[in-house]
């Protein structure tokens, strides 16, 4: 009986989604962007690279732009809390052409030398220290056509895209896992 109990609890827990964060980007939108229209496509960078999600709704926190604490509704009606908003730097290695998707770990703006950038794809969670920077348009901030030096190699900034990190919002009508387990065993009699 105990083996059966453990197997049922493990099966119920395995059926519950992990609730991990997702990293999404929206084309070549500016870092601070008005709320995109319904039907906009968001490109998933992590955990499932290159999955496209369609925006089915958006609950704004009142500032009329994509920002932290907004809620984006995707494809199937799933609601996601916006945890972070900033740029994704789509860069290509000047020698090999290898692409990478990076985001700053500090507030963007100004010279990036000495800052760390978090790699979202293809090598999730690798941090790179920016050792040097060539400001291609003399803007004073990282923009398309700039070059950055990290890990001893020069990388060209191909595009700067709007990036958001989101977490699934729990549904107000979904029972918790513990409630399901208690409900399952409440009618059973143990000797």
Residue 12 lies in a domain: no
Look at residue 102 and tell me if it is in a domain: yes
Q: What is the pLDDT of residue 26?
A: 87
Q: Is residue 110 part of a domain?
A: yes
Distance of CA 72 to the CA centre of its chain: 12
> 186 falls in which pLDDT band (50, 70, 90)?
low
Q: What is the pTM of this model?
A: 0.74
Owning domain of residue 43: 19-168
The structural domain count of the chain equals 1
Judge whether residue 91 has pLDDT over 90.
yes
Mean of pLDDT values over 69-83: 94
Collect all residues with Cβ–Cβ distance below 8 Å to 37 and sequence separation of at least 6: 55
User: How confident is the prediction for the chain on average, in pLDDT?
Assistant: 83
Residue 116 placed within a domain: yes
Phi, psi of 182 (to 5 degrees): -60, -40
Domain for residue 175, yes or no? no
pLDDT classification of 69: cutoffs 50, 70, 90: very high
Residue 1 inside a domain? The answer is no
Helix (H, G, I), strand (E, B) or coil at 113: coil
Write the CB contacts of 58 (distance below 8 Å, at least 6 apart in sequence). 35, 36, 38, 70, 71, 72, 73
Q: What is the pLDDT of residues 132-168, one digit of tens each?
A: 999 999 999 999 999 999 999 999 999 999 899 999 9
| pLDDT tier for residue 93 given thresholds of 50, 70 and 90 | very high
């Amino acid at each position: 009986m105990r083996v059966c109990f453990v197997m049922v609890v493990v099966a119920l827990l395995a059926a519950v989604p992990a609730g991990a964060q997702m990293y999404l980007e929206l084309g070549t939108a500016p870092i601070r962007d008005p709320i995109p229209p319904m039907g906009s496509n968001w490109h998933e960078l992590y955990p499932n690279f290159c999955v496209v999600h369609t925006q089915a709704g958006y609950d704004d926190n009142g500032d009329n732009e994509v920002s932290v604490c907004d809620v984006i509704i995707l494809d199937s009606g799933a609601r996601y809390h916006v945890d972070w908003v900033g740029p994704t730097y789509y860069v290509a290695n000047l020698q090999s052409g290898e692409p990478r998707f990076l985001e700053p770990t500090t507030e963007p703006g100004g010279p990036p030398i000495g800052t760390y950038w978090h790699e979202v794809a293809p090598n999730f969670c690798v941090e790179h220290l920016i050792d040097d920077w060539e400001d291609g348009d003399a803007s004073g901030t990282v923009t398309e056509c700039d070059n950055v030096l990290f890990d001893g190699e020069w990388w060209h900034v191909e595009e700067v895209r709007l990036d958001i990190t989101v977490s699934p919002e729990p549904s107000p009508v979904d029972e918790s896992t513990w409630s399901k387990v208690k409900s399952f065993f409440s009618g059973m009699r143990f000797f």
